[in-house]
Structure 1
């Protein structure tokens, strides 16, 4: 897990093409990847450098009004971008309903290899270091892969609300 950097540009562009093929470029997609598919400045090396700087700056000041500050790490194998994980430093009312403290995406060609489970495990000590005692993660009720990732990391289902599952992972005993 590492902070975003420009050395993975080619692989990042390939990953975004995979996400685009998967979701069909739906501009209404409300995930971090969906937002980035619309804001495609990452396509060029110059734009990618600007994009990386803005993602890193989110830890101090969010890019959009109403967003929470968050730290983003990229999951890479060498210079191959595999996915991202975001740790939101707190919860807005919107994040309490959908999103939670942690969000993650794994590029389609890298799924089903344990990377998402490892990413969540790797970010939990960072949440604890920020003073967060329990993290909220949400996922679509039908997303069995995400449910397994969250549960493998100690997530306990609080409730299913509509099509969303709300899980909490208590950090006191997990991250010392």
Structure 2
């Protein structure tokens, strides 16, 4: 059974395995990884995990099962420019763990977190051709606002009401 946990330095090797599976040049949504983060060394990885834990405007969680990192999900609390572009919630599941419902499960848990934070609704954005994310978002009540052209290609924008 998977669990949703705060990023943990003890999972360095497991996270590197997931990272390698994504392959070079692929963006891993939900992990908050920046080009300036050095994650190969234990010290660099620990510093990155500490940065994520100290981020006041975002809650990061990893999808973990049997000490294997299967994916990540981020809940951005604000409404700034990045949130307007990328959405309040971003997630990614490593290729070998896809098609198990993990993204839908994790999204449901993060919608509960958003509700607990007092958020009324959240924006989710995905590539227009990402059928798996479209189904995941719509399964949780996502209402399509529209499709916009972005630097990364067309993106679908959904709103989910989370008010209690």
Residue of structure 2 in register with 1:151 after alignment? 138
- CA–CA distance in structure 2, aligned partners of residues 3 and 92 of structure 1: 23
- CA–CA distance in structure 1, aligned partners of residues 82 and 45 of structure 2: 28
Residue of structure 1 in register with 2:69 after alignment? 81
Residue of structure 2 in register with 1:118 after alignment? 105
Residue of structure 2 in register with 1:170 after alignment? 161
- CA–CA distance in structure 2, aligned partners of residues 129 and 33 of structure 1: 21
How far apart are residue 154 of structure 1 and its match? 1.0
Q: Is the 8 A contact 2:71 2:93 kept in 1?
A: yes
Measured against aligned partners, the alpha-carbon deviations of 1:68-87 in whole angstroms (never above 9, x if no partner) come to x2110111003110111100
Q: Name the SS of the counterpart of 1:14 in structure 2.
A: helix
Residue of structure 1 in register with 2:115 after alignment? 128
- CA–CA distance in structure 1, aligned partners of residues 131 and 66 of structure 2: 29
Q: Greater RCO between the two (CA within 8 Å, min separation 6)?
A: 2
How far apart are residue 40 of structure 1 and its match? 4.9
- CA–CA distance in structure 2, aligned partners of residues 155 and 18 of structure 1: 29
1:12 to 6, 9, 15: 15
Alignment of 1:61-80 (within 5 A): 69-80=57-68
From the two aligned structures, give the one with the greater helix fraction: 1
From the two aligned structures, give the one with the greater strand fraction: 2
Residue of structure 2 in register with 1:2 after alignment? 5
- CA–CA distance in structure 1, aligned partners of residues 36 and 71 of structure 2: 18
User: Could you tell me the TM-score, scaled by structure 1's length?
Assistant: 0.82
Q: Is the 8 A contact 2:29 2:73 kept in 1?
A: no
Residue of structure 2 in register with 1:63 after alignment? none
2:81 pairs with 1:93: yes
Q: Name the SS of the counterpart of 2:122 in structure 1.
A: strand
Give me the CA root mean square deviation. 1.9
How far apart are residue 35 of structure 1 and its match? 4.3
- CA–CA distance in structure 2, aligned partners of residues 75 and 44 of structure 1: 22
How far apart are residue 95 of structure 1 and its match? 2.2
Q: Is the 8 A contact 1:3 1:73 kept in 2?
A: yes
> Aligned pairs, how many?
157
